[in-house]
Chains A and B, each alone.
Chain A
């Protein structure tokens, strides 16, 4: 007997009868030029206008008003929450057990309502074992794909020339490349293939009226609210599990993993005129007081043995990964927003580099603020070794946080 169908998300509450499309589109403009439609916010009149045009085009779509009502009254994006968990006792081995060992006439194995090409099954199974072993949400996504209430979903493993992973709701198909990573243009955050697969599976989970309505609402850094739900939702939670920086944008590069992995990650520390490799397990927090020629100068609070001091760091992986079109200091400047912000640059035990400005990330996450545009001209300042000998002015001392390990 077939197992019952599952639903990744709880259905949205019906809005009150008074909540019509006309009501849903009423916005107010604030002095800073932003538009507010309940708790939905648009950065300018053009974005608000795009929202209105999009909703008129979507008029009558099932789930449209419920989605708008949820967005405008709660401020939470439907689909950014965790999917309903798989039932207790669900195992990855059970979900990957192909009951009928013979593929169908098109060469697909069937896992309930999920279809996977026989030739691609081994890579698919390796992916699922990897991500489901780390993240119960990935196990939930796989479970829901195998118990879809509407129509079969296909998971395809693509080749080298098919780089941008995607979900197409027409054929209800996920395309996933096991050899590519995505990079956020703004903060350098890296999304590896496993997280990318969960990203696309979440788009699948968000298919239909709710997902279509989210796609019809602009959110410029994220392209639209569907992408924003996924990037700020399941993807961000997976990035936490992977100890990686989160994306705050849908714009970026797709880069072969082998190119990223072939770059020896390198943080070089320059202090008191001498340079040394930071090595794995390094972590340094400090206030950004300079960036030049790939060197980031931090003002670092002293510990018991060392007074406040300056430290120059060169983060070479970022420069190389971006092919020099987005130098490290620019990435870090946007991570830090401005001179004086506090950042943490660290390397994991396997040598990966993670950097973040936790306060900034939290602010963006809480307020859904877009990243500021790049400054047209990089500010000039001195990052020279002799900075280490200069005293820190009292106004800088107050902000120093973090301790060198």
Chain B
């Protein structure tokens, strides 16, 4: 799957999510510790190698599906602002090929799909992540 470009439309992002729903097999969540302050904002590209990043590998379809449901309900709309990344949700197929990458910042609306910064219109993904990682509520 090709990376999203800055000019991706809302519909394009929706199609990407639906494609992930059809073929996702594994979800890996990278998340930074709460209460982390950095000299410069953390980018999506830097997240996976960031010192201290925690990795949560999920193989069961129900959890992957609920993550995608939360992402769909969040209704991402392309936005022009860079993100200070706190979470990365990497969907991969059986062959380990990356199907979709979604990122979240500290705040409910802040997100990114592939390389396209997004505003999430609803806090559903934020709430899903807070429910999974309660310590992140304060940080």
Contacts and interface: CB of A to CB of B under 8 A. Distances in A.
B109 A162 contact: no
A53 B122 CA distance: 11
Interface stretch (B39-47, B64-72, B87-95): B39-47
Interface in A205-244: 212, 215-216, 218, 220, 223-224, 226-227, 230
B130 A168 contact: no
A53 B51 contact: no
Size bracket of the B interface:
20 to 34
B82 interface: yes
B126 A53 contact: yes
B35 A212 contact: yes
Contact of A49 (B38, B109, B130): B109
Contacts of B46: 164
B88 to A, nearest CB: 15
Interface string A99-141: 0000000000000000000000000000000000000000000
A47 B120 CA distance: 11
Given A49-B108, A50-B110, A57-B130, A166 B139 contact: no
Interface in A148-197: 158, 162, 164-170, 175, 182, 185, 191, 196
Contacts of A164: 38-40, 42, 46, 50
Could you tell me the dominant secondary structure of chain B's interface residues? loop
Interface residues of A, number: 42
Nearest to A374: B80
Contacts of B37: 166-169, 200, 203, 215, 226-227, 230
A196 B39 contact: yes
Nearest to A185: B82
Given A223-B41, A223-B84, A218 B107 contact: yes
Contacts of A57: 130, 137-138
Interface in B120-139: 123, 126, 130, 137-139
B33 interface: yes
B36 interface: yes
A182 B39 CA distance: 7
A61 B34 CA distance: 15
Contacts of A339: none
Contacts of A253: 40
Interface string B82-108: 101000000000000000000001111
B36 A166 contact: yes
A34 interface: no
Contacts of A54: 106-108
Contacts of A162: 51
B39 A50 contact: no
A158 B50 CA distance: 13
B114 interface: no
A50 to B, nearest CB: 4
Contacts of A226: 37
